[in-house]
Structure 1
Amino acid sequence: MSPVSLSARAAALLLPDWRAASGAPAYEALSDALRVLVIDGRVPLGVRLPAERGLADALGVSRTTVANAYARLRSDGFLVSLRGSGSVVHLPRDLVGRPDPERPGGVVGDDLLDLRKAAMHAAPEVAEAVERAVRYVPAALAGIGYDTVGDPGLRAAIADRYTERGLPTDPSQVVVTIGAQHAIALLARVLVRRGDTVLVESPTYPHAHEAFREAGGRLVGVPVDARTGWDATALETTLRRTAPAVAYLMPELHNPTGATMSAATRERLLTVAASTGTVVVADETMGELRIDGTPAPPLAAADPAVVMIGSAAKVFWGGLRIGWIRADPDLLQLLLLARPTGDLGTPVLDQLVARELVPRTAAVLAARRTALRTGRDDVVAALRARLPEWDVPSPDGGLTTWVGLGRPVSSALVLAARAEGVVLASGGVFGPDGGFERFLRVPYTMGAADRERMVEVLERAWARVGGEGTGVRGSLAAVV
């Protein structure tokens, strides 16, 4: 089977600032930038890189520059040459023994502080819910265990939670999924045909744009800023100009910026989307994790046609693989018809636990809010004090702050921090077409000792790759 190829154009889009942060020769800067794409997971293992001449033309450099960059990557073990297949992305032998479970290019050490997934440890209520759920196991075992719709009790609890938040909901409007990512992928498969335009935010949750691309969607981005939120004019213009089949948005505590869409922008979005026939999908995975201020009602409260995605992972525990879709029953029926080609149902035991937890959401959130406020305030204050040149917003909620670095060195900074055992996701991970090298998503979900360790490592990493204007020459190869 031939390797999947990365086109020269696609590679160039992933390399917008590859020379900006480096004082190294061009071929070294290019090989370092490509190395980062592999380590970040943006170029998967086994992918064939573009031909040297094609990439040289796309980047506006000489073929010799690309040839020398590829040679350096081969020497370091990140590329192999296969007869008839060109240059294929590979993992160096010394990284294969202990593979990183989330990204193909990382090394898992005993003292690794992995902060790529912004998440909290399990709420205490989870253990209690497991104990209570056991009493329903005998009845569940009487069934065959393949459940594509969802436990009736859990669907009722989810519907009640929406109703409490100002969105009257019937259980018939809810389907339970295997987490929010499964919900996104299922909606993409049903709502998007190959070649359809899909509007996404930029930056956005990376696995969402991956799912829509896999379904054949052509992505168009609209900017979101941590301080100013959505560019409402750009949002309206993009909707009218492209008439997308789907608009995937996170209007409440957007990931990664933490922004919340204003009431005026929400109204404008829904009015224009209705005129263009666009299905609006609102992802509320972070939506209930508000620290300050008053949450807005779910977006579907203003327009029943809006499709809502929710999840138990961020509020309760990431190991509880339960998500859901709230939509018109006709759309849910299409989703259920399409579902068996991808999965045969949501785990029954997880649903029994979630059925116990969802009615207790408000109590769990009260405790979470206290912990998140402490974490946010500590991290924001420490970063502002130790790295005053950074722009460090204090979001109203969510799990992270979207830091402006001022220089396009996010990947280099992440790699330098990785060398000291602190692993973060670079800004480019959150761009539908790369970019965002001037930003870094910094979580504040961990305990006090880990928060202090993270800030100390970032301070040292910044001094190495960004703080003194020294560039990143020689740093990346040493890190990996």
Structure 2
Amino acid sequence: MEPIDASLDLDHLVARLGRWSAGRGPLYLLLATRLRGLMDEAALPPGALLPPDRRLAKALAVGRTTVVAAYDTLRQEGRLVRRQGSGTRVARAALARAAPTSPEAPRGGSPGTKTPRVTETSNPLFLHLLEAPDDVILLSCAAPAQPPPELAEAYRSLVLPDRDLGYHPAGLGVLRAAVAERYAVRGVPTGPAQILVTTGAQQALSLLTRLLLAPGDGVLVEAPTYPGALDLFREAAAVPLPVAVGPDGMDVAEAVRVIERHRPALAYVVARFQNPTGAVLPPLAGRRLVEAANALGVPIVDDEVLSDLAFDSASAPAPTLSAYGEVIAVGSLSKVVWGGLRIGWVRGPAPLIARLARLKALHDLGSDLPSQLAATRLLDDFAPVLEARLASVRAGHDHLRAELARLLPSWSAAPATGGQTMWVRLPHGDGVSFAQLALRHGVAVLPGATADALGGSVRHLRLHFLAAPDVLTEAVRRLAAAWAEYTPGPAPERASLHAIVV
């Protein structure tokens, strides 16, 4: 699509916006959604200067506050940069690598390092989907890099069914029963009719978003939260209603007030090993949240993708919000087994599952059958797979913390009790600008602001600890080199880095 020179041709931009207001919901969200679409289509390229809010408002025949709010929504997503005196520009991708100044010496990198080509994207969480360069260490995407040997064995032992077309929109019966049994073991009686098998947890969230949300609907979310969920809600032109997350998870008292005041169409939470903070919601708080949502008829979605990854594996089976009332649970095998095994699920009331199955049939007529058979085989003897993964993430967590303490002692990183990521606070600056510099040093990180609908977490980064120890060591070395360049004036890290960086 031909790019728009928004700084020169306001009429061209207005024409491309088209019937942007033809939809349900606040005008500012509809405008933000259309502008976002133009960015995704590369019609509004990085660096494009957008019209001043007053000029665009006049051209669109709307109030200035509509344009200001739309610009601010996109700014909070990291898609726009607004600076006094220089206007509003489409942001360069937070993790986009700058072009080298010469083949021998990339700008901001080490001499002699080859600069790979990176496709720009507005969401750094999905950088790994876009031909990531081999020499960049991806701490931005948290997923196991190595599948367990049990997965290959499960595929080798596959026996495909006879007289079966292979179309199972709700999922293969034996897999639905196996997932239902996992909930029964955790004290939540569940039948196969309450399980929908999906192509990963992301599809589960996508189907729920499409079924339950309309433009302008409110969605209660944690701040910060999983950026992939925020992307789905924004794509649906829903209105995030963020509630801050602390060391003990979401502020449930505030969440209940939001539910009572706004009656959102959906509440989305990550109760256990919250993504990205790693917080765990206490049982009493979880019960209060579920009871409040149930009392007012607000569907609550609990993202359980990380719930199995407790470092203390000797504890009882992971608690679940579903034990406290009617909850829609989303799960996946991607974090314990492998991201390439695209098997997820939704647990919920049977009528909801039937509606979701009809919707899923429109997309793919059912998830891949061999993968479902392999997943069933894995769940038959899941304990060894889980224990091996837990040993790996525990070791990775401890190693990453030790390396950060050694090379970046001014960074603050509280120990996690589970999950696969560490929530790091920088002593100064902001995560988005540092992420840009870090990528030029060969490591991709997720800026906290991209996960926070409140517009906070600007000094935070999310780092995963799933890589091998030597890779984590090299990643922290590169982060320390980037920090030494980023930090103005003398810094404690500089002296300790001298022998490593020069």
Provide TM-score, normalisation by structure 1: 0.78
One-letter amino acid of the counterpart of residue 372, structure 1: V
Q: Residue 193 of structure 1 aligns with which residue?
A: 214
Q: State the 1:189 CA deviation.
A: 1.2
Q: Conserved in 1, the CA contact under 8 Å of 2:223 and 2:452?
A: yes
Which one is further off, 116-125 or 248-257?
116-125
Pick closer, same or farther for the CA change 1:109–1:42 going to 2, 3 Å. farther
- 1:344 maps onto 2:365 in alignment: yes
- 1:109 maps onto 2:133 in alignment: yes
Q: Residue 414 of structure 1 aligns with which residue?
A: 435
- 1:440 maps onto 2:434 in alignment: no
Q: 1:130 aligns with which of 142, 155, 179?
A: 155
Q: Conserved in 1, the CA contact under 8 Å of 2:332 and 2:344?
A: yes
**Cα RMSD over matched residues?**
3.7
Q: Conserved in 2, the CA contact under 8 Å of 1:161 and 1:359?
A: no
Q: State the 1:307 CA deviation.
A: 0.8
Q: Residue 119 of structure 1 aligns with which residue?
A: 143
Q: State the 1:104 CA deviation.
A: 10
Q: State the 1:212 CA deviation.
A: 2.2
Q: How do 1:74-113 residues align onto structure 2 when only pairs under 5 Å count?
A: 99=119, 102-103=126-127, 108-113=132-137
- 1:212 maps onto 2:230 in alignment: no
One-letter amino acid of the counterpart of residue 445, structure 1: L
Q: Conserved in 2, the CA contact under 8 Å of 1:413 and 1:466?
A: no
Following the alignment from structure 1 to structure 2, what is the Cα–Cα distance between the partners of residues 119 and 53? 41
1:219-253 Cα offsets, whole Å, 9 max, x none, are: 1111113x342222211211111111211111011
Following the alignment from structure 1 to structure 2, what is the Cα–Cα distance between the partners of residues 464 and 207? 31
Following the alignment from structure 1 to structure 2, what is the Cα–Cα distance between the partners of residues 358 and 71? 44
Q: Residue 166 of structure 2 aligns with which residue?
A: 145
- 1:259 maps onto 2:283 in alignment: no
Q: Conserved in 2, the CA contact under 8 Å of 1:203 and 1:223?
A: yes
Q: Residue 16 of structure 1 aligns with which residue?
A: none
Q: Residue 302 of structure 1 aligns with which residue?
A: 324
Following the alignment from structure 1 to structure 2, what is the Cα–Cα distance between the partners of residues 234 and 251? 15
Q: 1:452 aligns with which of 473, 481, 501?
A: 473
Query: Which runs of 5 or more residues in structure 1 are unaligned?
Result: 14-37, 79-93, 471-480
Q: Conserved in 1, the CA contact under 8 Å of 2:172 and 2:372?
A: yes
Q: Residue 109 of structure 2 aligns with which residue?
A: none
Following the alignment from structure 1 to structure 2, what is the Cα–Cα distance between the partners of residues 362 and 55? 61
- 1:46 maps onto 2:67 in alignment: no
Q: State the 1:273 CA deviation.
A: 0.8
Following the alignment from structure 1 to structure 2, what is the Cα–Cα distance between the partners of residues 375 and 424? 16
Pick closer, same or farther for the CA change 1:353–1:242 going to 2, 3 Å. same
One-letter amino acid of the counterpart of residue 310, structure 2: R
- 1:367 maps onto 2:388 in alignment: yes
Query: Which runs of 5 or more residues in structure 2 are unaligned?
Result: 2-14, 22-26, 56-63, 73-80, 99-113, 492-502
Q: Residue 244 of structure 1 aligns with which residue?
A: 264
One-letter amino acid of the counterpart of residue 268, structure 1: R
One-letter amino acid of the counterpart of residue 125, structure 1: E
Pick closer, same or farther for the CA change 1:401–1:4 going to 2, 3 Å. farther
1:314-365 Cα offsets, whole Å, 9 max, x none, are: 1111101110011111111111222233332111111111111122222211
Q: State the 1:188 CA deviation.
A: 1.1
Q: Residue 429 of structure 1 aligns with which residue?
A: 450
Following the alignment from structure 2 to structure 1, what is the Cα–Cα distance between the partners of residues 140 and 38? 14
The alignment partner of 1:389 has SS state of: coil
One-letter amino acid of the counterpart of residue 334, structure 1: R
Q: Conserved in 2, the CA contact under 8 Å of 1:428 and 1:436?
A: yes
One-letter amino acid of the counterpart of residue 109, structure 1: P
Q: State the 1:150 CA deviation.
A: 0.7
The alignment partner of 1:388 has SS state of: coil
Following the alignment from structure 1 to structure 2, what is the Cα–Cα distance between the partners of residues 181 and 260? 21
One-letter amino acid of the counterpart of residue 177, structure 2: A
Pick closer, same or farther for the CA change 1:290–1:189 going to 2, 3 Å. same
Following the alignment from structure 2 to structure 1, what is the Cα–Cα distance between the partners of residues 331 and 119? 31
Q: How do 1:259-278 residues align onto structure 2 when only pairs under 5 Å count?
A: 259-278=279-298
Which one is further off, 350-359 or 229-238?
229-238
The alignment partner of 1:111 has SS state of: coil
Pick closer, same or farther for the CA change 1:329–1:228 going to 2, 3 Å. closer
Pick closer, same or farther for the CA change 1:375–1:104 going to 2, 3 Å. closer
Q: Residue 6 of structure 2 aligns with which residue?
A: none
Q: Conserved in 2, the CA contact under 8 Å of 1:407 and 1:437?
A: no
Which one is further off, 409-418 or 199-208?
409-418
Q: Residue 21 of structure 1 aligns with which residue?
A: none
Following the alignment from structure 1 to structure 2, what is the Cα–Cα distance between the partners of residues 219 and 113? 32
Provide TM-score, normalisation by structure 2: 0.75
Following the alignment from structure 2 to structure 1, what is the Cα–Cα distance between the partners of residues 154 and 418? 26
One-letter amino acid of the counterpart of residue 351, structure 1: Q
One-letter amino acid of the counterpart of residue 299, structure 1: L
Q: Conserved in 1, the CA contact under 8 Å of 2:97 and 2:118?
A: no
Following the alignment from structure 2 to structure 1, what is the Cα–Cα distance between the partners of residues 128 and 273? 29
Following the alignment from structure 1 to structure 2, what is the Cα–Cα distance between the partners of residues 263 and 398? 18
The alignment partner of 2:155 has SS state of: helix
Pick closer, same or farther for the CA change 1:115–1:104 going to 2, 3 Å. closer
Pick closer, same or farther for the CA change 1:466–1:42 going to 2, 3 Å. farther
Q: Residue 7 of structure 2 aligns with which residue?
A: none
Q: 2:400 aligns with which of 358, 379, 400?
A: 379
Pick closer, same or farther for the CA change 1:302–1:52 going to 2, 3 Å. same
Pick closer, same or farther for the CA change 1:236–1:188 going to 2, 3 Å. same
Equivalent pairs counted in the alignment come to: 420
One-letter amino acid of the counterpart of residue 419, structure 1: R
Q: Residue 375 of structure 2 aligns with which residue?
A: 354
Pick closer, same or farther for the CA change 1:176–1:42 going to 2, 3 Å. farther
Following the alignment from structure 2 to structure 1, what is the Cα–Cα distance between the partners of residues 119 and 17? 22
Following the alignment from structure 1 to structure 2, what is the Cα–Cα distance between the partners of residues 258 and 104? 22
The alignment partner of 1:363 has SS state of: helix
- 1:330 maps onto 2:351 in alignment: yes
One-letter amino acid of the counterpart of residue 143, structure 1: D
Following the alignment from structure 2 to structure 1, what is the Cα–Cα distance between the partners of residues 429 and 363? 39
Q: Conserved in 2, the CA contact under 8 Å of 1:150 and 1:346?
A: yes
1:74-125 Cα offsets, whole Å, 9 max, x none, are: xx999xxxxxxxxxxxxxxx99966479449988433221222101121221
Q: State the 1:9 CA deviation.
A: 7.3
Pick closer, same or farther for the CA change 1:377–1:338 going to 2, 3 Å. same
